[in-house]
Amino acid sequence: MFAPAQTRASAGVPSYGMIPPLGSVPSASGLMISQATAMAVAAVYACVAIRAKDVARCTPRLFVRKDDGGRDPVTDHVVARLFVRPNRQQTWFEFWQQMMVGYLLRGNAYAAILRDRRGNPVELIPINPDAVMVLEATDGSIFYNVNRIGLWQIAMLRGEPVAIPEEDMFHLRGISFNTLVGISTIGLARDAIGLAMGLEQQASRWVGNGARPSGVLTAKTRLSEAAAMRLKQQWQAFAGGIQNVGQTAVLEDGVDWKPVQLTSVDLEFIQQRNLQVADIARYYDVPLSRLGIAGSTSSKITPAEEEQAYVNHTVMPDLVVAEQKFVQVFDLDREGIEVDFDEGQLLRADIMTRYNAARLGVLTGILTPNEVRRSEGLAPMPGGDRLMVPANTAALGSDMTGTAPDAAGRPEAGNAPAPGVPTNGDPDPQLDPQGEL
């Protein structure tokens, strides 16, 4: 089914997108942006975690397309087993969530394909994108130079060469400028992320050090330099830090405290932090309402419509790229097998909406009662696999109405025929000689 990897020369040169994928990149704020520092920003963490979890919730399945347009599930297949147990340590949710984190941060997700002696894939070992360098050879061959991180990964990849050939690497790539490597998202968004980091650190220092004065000390007489320094040190020790909030101050004779109100600069700083959240959300195409920002959605859009738009525009592209990559890497199209990630869990409505939709589906002959019961996790019932066709949608004159069809014409003898009997006098083959069903 799957041929073992062929031995190739691994000589090649690194292949980059617009921004080198490894390590850190500096931002205009002077802060270095890496996977770890980017995920420390609340907006980045929320966007990546939300998308990764939502995609990991979509259960992957294999199907074979039938001639009548239907699909039969395929469960006895090596890839189907990977969907249940990708490796000896992770569940599918854990594995694909990790893959999506690398994909969303670096634009690339990697997993080494371990095979048995027959060449069949038995495990997928996820690899951090920062540990992978894509090498391209002059003959067009592609290799993945992997830096093993951790004893477990060293043990799992001990049978693989340092430069793993492309047929033994599952590589999920995002937007690319050179075909081979996806563009690093945090590399493109480094200035937006760096600004958010800087604003967050500045706010934290203000809280920790009391850097933004809530008031000033004034004296009626000129203080000596030594007295001013002593008063400053005493006040800093008294008022600096969050542990001293709410303490009672005792001032010297002639020294007054004057509170300072928020300035326009302070208000702009608060607004700027909110703008950075929105800026980062644009890179990840995540609605602001999912980040807990109130008033970010039009009142004309219902929650169900917003959820549908999020699934259509944000989640579905992630599912499509994964489905097509599995088909390509494991040559499933040669076996006539399709991959489908079920997004139904993301669109699962409240119970009343589901029941009303199920009722409409059954009454219109689209769904069988057992299909509805299975979707709700209920056991099928006898006779529940039959479609219910509404009588008022049957063809005029059919055996459901029991009358002669329209345009049957008047009988030659001038007498109305029995229900369902054609005008030529021959009995309907579906009726008995007396014209009854």
Give residue 359's pLDDT band: very low, low, confident or very high (50, 70, 90). confident
In the predicted model, what is the mean pLDDT of residues 248-276?
63
C-alpha–C-alpha distance, residues 227 and 396, integer Å: 104
pLDDT above 60: residue 34: yes
Residues 6+ apart with CB under 8 A from 16: 178, 181
Quote the mean pLDDT of the chain.
80
Residue 164 phi/psi, 5-degree rounding, is: -80, 130
The token duo for 262 is 């928020």
pLDDT tens-digit readout, 62-98: 999 888 777 899 999 999 999 999 999 999 999 999 9
C-alpha–C-alpha distance, residues 313 and 266, integer Å: 36
In the predicted model, what is the mean pLDDT of residues 275-298?
84
270 CA to centre of own chain: 29
Query: Looking at residue 244, what is its pLDDT?
Result: 45
C-alpha–C-alpha distance, residues 173 and 184, integer Å: 10
In the predicted model, what is the mean pLDDT of residues 372-399?
76
pLDDT above 70: residue 171: yes
pLDDT above 90: residue 6: no
Query: Looking at residue 261, what is its pLDDT?
Result: 54
In the predicted model, what is the mean pLDDT of residues 297-318?
83
C-alpha–C-alpha distance, residues 23 and 35, integer Å: 8
Query: Looking at residue 420, what is its pLDDT?
Result: 55
The token duo for 369 is 């009662």
| Selected residue with higher pLDDT from 19 and 277 | 277
Contact present, 400 and 388 (Cβ < 8 Å): no
Of 102-111, 375-384, 398-407, the one with minimum mean pLDDT is 398-407
The token duo for 28 is 């205009």
C-alpha–C-alpha distance, residues 325 and 79, integer Å: 12
| Selected residue with higher pLDDT from 33 and 272 | 33
Give residue 437's pLDDT band: very low, low, confident or very high (50, 70, 90). very low
pLDDT above 90: residue 401: no
pLDDT above 70: residue 394: no
Give the side-chain half-sphere CA count within 13 A for 138.
1
Contact present, 174 and 107 (Cβ < 8 Å): yes
Domain locations in the chain as residue ranges: 1-208+263-343, 349-396
pLDDT tens-digit readout, 128-156: 999 999 999 999 999 999 999 899 999 99
Give residue 358's pLDDT band: very low, low, confident or very high (50, 70, 90). confident
pLDDT above 90: residue 208: no
Query: Looking at residue 400, what is its pLDDT?
Result: 54
pLDDT above 70: residue 265: no
What pTM, to 2 d.p., does this model score? 0.72
Contact present, 201 and 234 (Cβ < 8 Å): no
In the predicted model, what is the mean pLDDT of residues 356-375?
86
Query: Looking at residue 245, what is its pLDDT?
Result: 47
Query: Looking at residue 153, what is its pLDDT?
Result: 93
